[in-house]
Structure 1
């Protein structure tokens, strides 16, 4: 069974929100009760993205989400991984974050949440990469109720480009997904970008399935492994283009910042707009949805399919309600909720537009 898409409208979105927060309350004992910062104390954090240990799946994802390192180490010694996981991809990514800028009142025009890694991103990646219910995002599905394009590129039939909104300083999403897509654009406010570029460069060795190139990172065409072998120099090996670009929702105009967007439109037939944990402030809801709308209109073409995937850390019920009401009623966006058992037992919700 894969996740189901529930269409949200004026008639059912409040019922959906109520139901989601009731479920959240039921799982209070197993969920970490904090704002969702991966680490509030460390300037350097190490993130392992790897298949969960079967406890079953739900329990293991909760453990990973709560970052209980000691428990996980014990489990690795005492439990054997599922034999089907032995060949699955694994990542070890080092992120430099800035706790001082997070707590600053002057950094980046007082917009400081992007200076640290938030737990929604590693949770989403583990679900996307390993959970059987997320299969439609990894490969084409025959399920008529889930007519969505895969997020993984199939090279000849499905060339995928991703725009990430509100990337922050973390390169986690860009590095992992660059193994599977043709183009990836990270965007955020100007004050964030230098730290983001640093974290991308420091983790390029984790891009092992493709060669990579980047104009904004000053790279031509590189092999992302420490040892060169025949596979690495094969010119037919797929290439991913990674770019970093300023995009402020409050000032964004489609006539600006279109160089790399135009490349996506020309070279990809599937475009995903990703945003993880950017819905936390009522004043940014309107600009965010305006940006989503402008991007969807810009890419509107019979030959290009555009999807927006938005991950929300469930904190304030009022903020989530305002976001969904505005998306459905004010912006008339086709919002669907991803109904999935793993997500239902977490602090996160995923919405597909």
Structure 2
């Protein structure tokens, strides 16, 4: 009886979360017109400083030094080089998603100390992983293999003794079974990098990359939250990115507010997609493709705060995989 009640309350919590974040998006063309009709500040391409070999960033009073590669950025490497430097939206998004007091992801236990998170297109900085990983159980950062060396350098150089993780309603009486492994001081293997090709790789094996194989020892191949920050800038990437998001989400149950969770008690994967406003055509192409497979909510200004709100030139949407007719 307790298990039934707990699973029902989890689904109700998720429904409340969705109600709290903003309006559901129904039409790609209408959403695109609404967002791009407003004045958008010029941010060039969106680099913090594409010529610097290192960039200093502060998030919630914590200082980070991010090493980057202007040389790699300007190279003619096949497959792209945009992950070689830090982008302006990344520190803002990292600060927002780690605000445990006001962010509804934490308030409604979508994120908790027992969460497993995957990031698509992490780039070399590892900044979101650095800021978020001390508060959760597992963080898998994915991108093309070329970012690996600098990413590891940044993770190693900026890892500090983790502070006490926040307590949220969803885990106050239900600590993570892995908690004893992640509470030690000093650098921890809580951030795992694995290369992920959006065209060919299978997300079902991603948790196998976690050291010790502890990521899926309960049989769960899925993730609580999927993050993607500033990966939507090229129309050719739209279909592979959306398809990869959907493949990750299929590792968990689909959201259905009229039905309680399955016997395994797993919540649907919540996707949080942040991006800079650049091309309306690329944005509309992404949203049109996304709406075929996902329900979409645009996070409201009240939830985002000033740095990511309307007029900032940045957008954050939340996605949940649709219940498709069989």
Measured against the shorter chain, the TM-score band is 0.7 to 0.9
Identify the match of residue 73 of structure 2 among 97, 102, 106. Answer: 102
CA RMSD of aligned residues (A): 2.8
Conservation of the 8 A alpha-carbon contact between 2:32 and 2:284: yes
Specify the alignment match of 1:289 in structure 2: 242
* 1:20 alignment counterpart: 35
The partner residue of 1:152 within 91, 109, 112 is 112
Match of 2:149 among 194, 199, 203: 194
Residue 16 of structure 2: aligned partner: none
Equivalence map 1:90-239=2 (5 Å) = 90-106=61-77, 109-130=78-99, 134-140=102-108, 149-153=109-113, 159-205=114-160, 207-209=162-164, 223-224=185-186
CA distance 1:33–1:241, shift in 2 (3 Å):
closer
Q: In the alignment, is the contact (CA less than 8 A) between 1:178 and 1:207 conserved in 2?
A: no
Deviations 1:24-46 (A, max 9, x none): x1xx4xx3431110112211111
Verify: 1:328 aligned to 2:288, yes or no.
Answer: no
Distance 1:257 1:124, change over 3 A: closer
CA distance 1:191–1:93, change in 2 (3 Å): same
Contact kept, 8 Å, 2:270 with 2:318, in 1: the verdict is yes
Return the alpha-carbon distance in structure 2 between the equivalents of residues 33 and 307 of structure 1.
Answer: 29
Distance 2:147 2:189 in 1: 23
Total equivalences in the alignment: 267
Residues 287-296 or 252-261, more deviating: 252-261
Deviates more, 1:40-49 or 1:335-344: 335-344
State the match for 1:337 in structure 2: 298
The 1:326–1:251 alpha-carbon spacing in structure 2 relative to 1, beyond 3 Å, is same
Unaligned runs of 5+ in 1: 51-89, 141-148, 154-158, 211-218, 226-238
Q: Does 1:7 align with 2:24?
A: yes
Contact 1:175 1:207 in 2 (8 A): no
C-alpha change, 1:278 and 1:40, in structure 2 (3 Å) is: same
Alpha-carbon deviation of 1:131? 9.1
C-alpha displacement of 1:180? 1.2
Following superposition, the deviation at residue 123 of structure 1 comes to: 1.1
- Which consecutive unaligned segments of at least 5 residues does structure 2 have? 1-18, 166-180, 254-260, 320-326
Instruction: Please tell me whether the aligned partners of residues 178 and 240 of structure 1 are also in contact (alpha carbons under 8 angstroms).
Output: no
Give the CA deviation at 1:314: 0.5
Distance 1:255 1:135 in 2: 29
String of CA shifts for 1:130-181, please: whole Å, max 9, x gaps.
497x4312223xxxxxxxx43232xxxxx21110110010121111101211
CA distance in 1, matches of 2:33, 2:282: 13
